[in-house]
């Protein structure tokens, strides 16, 4: 029996809890019995930046993800999970079926507990439990043992987002009366039966906490406010809501981004979401980027907030004719920032881009947009992405990595992975 439900709680406590039994893989590829997925590699320099290919066989919704640590690069898409070394060489690859199946991967390397983690949401299962499969490695070597925790979320309508602190793992998703799950990282890492606490409603998007903090933050952006919810230990080992901070965010542009043009066709493409796809806490500050409507085109905005909800700085990356789409952000231990995204316009196809800033650059500024390659064809539908991924290197905590998609000649998604060393 996978689920053992316990009594309900209300207020600042979870609505209910259940104990999840893990499914253990002795190794990443099930001792060589899992069907191999071999993609990518081809390490090279692109405009002075080290890069290599990720998955190259995607459709328009690749859903590329990335996590870096333990000397490895872990890469996920809707087609499978792949391990590379940091030189861009293929190591191992499997389909999602090796981890109880699913789509919409989100992944991270936990710098505190030195493990990889990702989730897969699966709504085609025969039992109709619609599990979110949370998989966590037992060590920093992703080739070794993993444990997958299948949590039934039958009322979910799409995949969600995850985040972590030194003590907690969080997952929020759309659909149903309880839309946030909190678990203990120690239980997940140990491969033990793990308690999943379900909170009523949604606490917001979980934050990747790079500072050595036990408490886990969740962030929600409303039309006018930023809401930071902090979850802590209630004193008995269970999570509770410790505080909720609501402050005006003051965004002058927060409209949903319009679809973006492509060369040689009237078919426009999805630009992304005004809600951030990833958020990080680094050096006691919250950082995120998102795509908004700016003068009728998709543009990237990025922000730095205190944990009390006060904006320290922010900026916008926009183009007079093109759309900047599908953005994510990373911040290293020195407060250097990398913003990954894609560009498309009337005279070009979807292409991978990035912009960065050093900690001592003028507030609210980024350096010029840089190219990681050029798209070669138009998509044949609106859906694209649905996101990208940008992360700090979990080993040296200074290098910054991004994975972005480009449209190949058939308008399908191909992934490029790049390492940027701030200079």
- The residues, ordered by sequence, that sit 6+ positions from 204 with a Cβ below 8 Å of its Cβ are 172, 180, 218, 219, 220, 227, 228, 229
At 63, list the tokens: 């859903």
pLDDT of residue 73: 98
At 421, list the tokens: 């060393």
Contact between 274 and 288 under an 8 Å Cβ cutoff? The reply is no
Contact between 314 and 289 under an 8 Å Cβ cutoff? The reply is no
Residue ranges, the chain, pLDDT below 50 = 1-9
Give the Cα separation of 49 and 42 in Å (integer).
14
Sequence-ordered strand ranges (E) for 346-412: 348-357, 370-371, 389-392, 400-407
- 55 burial via Cβ count (<10 Å: 0-12, 13-18, 19+): buried
The owner of tokens 């009237």 is 266
- 207 burial via Cβ count (<10 Å: 0-12, 13-18, 19+): buried
- The residues, ordered by sequence, that sit 6+ positions from 180 with a Cβ below 8 Å of its Cβ are 170, 171, 172, 198, 199, 201, 202, 203, 204, 206, 218
Contact between 238 and 197 under an 8 Å Cβ cutoff? The reply is yes
Which of the 8 DSSP states describes residue 28? Answer: T
| Domain edges within the chain | 44-62+253-423, 95-249
Closest CA to 331 of 286, 385, 275: 286
Label the pairing between strands 297-306 and 285-294.
antiparallel
pLDDT, tens only, 164-202: 999 999 999 999 999 999 999 999 999 999 999 999 999
What are the strands of the beta sheet with 65-69, ordered from one edge? 65-69, 72-77, 80-85, 90-94
pLDDT, tens only, 307-350: 999 999 999 999 999 999 999 999 999 999 999 999 999 999 99
pLDDT of residue 10: 52
* C-beta contacts of 284-289 below 8 A and 24+ residues apart: 284/211, 285/312, 286/207, 286/217, 286/219, 286/228, 287/329, 287/331, 287/337, 288/219, 288/329, 289/327, 289/328, 289/329, 289/339, 289/341
Q: CA-based Rg of the chain, rounded to a whole angstrom? A: 20
- The residues, ordered by sequence, that sit 6+ positions from 218 with a Cβ below 8 Å of its Cβ are 163, 170, 172, 180, 203, 204, 205, 206, 207, 228, 229, 230, 231
* DSSP for 135-162, written as a single string: EEESSS-TTS-EEEEEEE-TT--S--EE
Give the Cα separation of 26 and 49 in Å (integer).
36
Give the Cα separation of 68 and 70 in Å (integer).
7
Contact between 119 and 171 under an 8 Å Cβ cutoff? The reply is yes
pLDDT of residue 8: 39
- The residues, ordered by sequence, that sit 6+ positions from 126 with a Cβ below 8 Å of its Cβ are none
At 292, list the tokens: 């908004």
Mapped onto helix, strand or coil, the DSSP state of residue 188 is helix
């Amino acid at each position: 029996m996978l689920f053992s439900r316990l009594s309900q709680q209300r207020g600042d406590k979870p609505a209910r809890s259940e104990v999840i039994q893990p499914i253990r893989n002795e190794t990443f590829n099930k001792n060589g019995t899992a069907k191999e997925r071999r993609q990518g590699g081809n390490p090279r320099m692109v405009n002075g930046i080290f890069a290599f290919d990720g998955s190259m066989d995607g459709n328009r919704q690749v859903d590329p993800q990335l996590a870096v640590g333990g000397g490895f690069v872990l890469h996920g898409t809707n087609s499978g999970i792949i391990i590379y070394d940091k030189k861009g060489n293929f190591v191992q690859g499997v389909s999602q079926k090796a981890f109880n199946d699913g789509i919409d991967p989100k992944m991270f390397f936990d710098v505190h507990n030195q493990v990889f983690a990702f989730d897969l949401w699966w709504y085609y299962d025969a039992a109709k439990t619609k599990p979110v499969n949370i998989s966590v490695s037992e060590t920093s070597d992703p080739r070794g043992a993993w444990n997958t925790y299948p949590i039934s979320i039958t009322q979910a309508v799409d995949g969600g987002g995850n985040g972590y602190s030194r003590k907690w793992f969080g997952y929020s998703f759309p659909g149903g009366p309880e839309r946030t799950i909190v678990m203990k990282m120690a239980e997940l890492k140990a491969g033990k039966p793990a308690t999943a606490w379900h909170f009523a409603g949604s606490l917001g998007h979980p934050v990747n906490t790079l500072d050595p903090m036990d408490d886990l933050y969740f962030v929600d952006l409303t039309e006018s406010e930023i809401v930071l919810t902090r979850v802590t230990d209630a004193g008995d080992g269970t999570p509770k809501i410790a505080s909720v901070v609501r402050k005006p965010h003051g965004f002058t542009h927060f409209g949903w981004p319009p679809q973006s043009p492509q060369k040689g066709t009237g078919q426009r493409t999805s630009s992304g979401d005004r809600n951030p796809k990833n958020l990080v806490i680094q050096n006691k500050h919250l950082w995120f980027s998102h795509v908004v409507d700016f003068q009728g085109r998709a543009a990237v905005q990025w922000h730095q907030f205190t944990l009390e909800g006060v904006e320290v700085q922010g900026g916008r990356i926009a183009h007079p004719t093109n759309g900047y789409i599908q953005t994510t952000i990373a911040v290293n231990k020195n407060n250097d920032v990398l913003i990954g995204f894609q560009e498309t316009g009337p005279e070009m196809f979807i292409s991978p881009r990035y912009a960065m800033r050093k900690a001592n650059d003028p507030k609210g500024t980024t350096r010029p947009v840089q190219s990681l390659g050029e798209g070669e064809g138009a998509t044949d539908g609106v859906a694209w992405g649905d996101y990208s991924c940008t992360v700090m290197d979990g080993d040296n905590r200074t290098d910054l990595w991004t994975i972005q998609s480009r449209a190949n000649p058939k308008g399908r998604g191909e992934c490029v992975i790049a390492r940027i060393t701030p200079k």
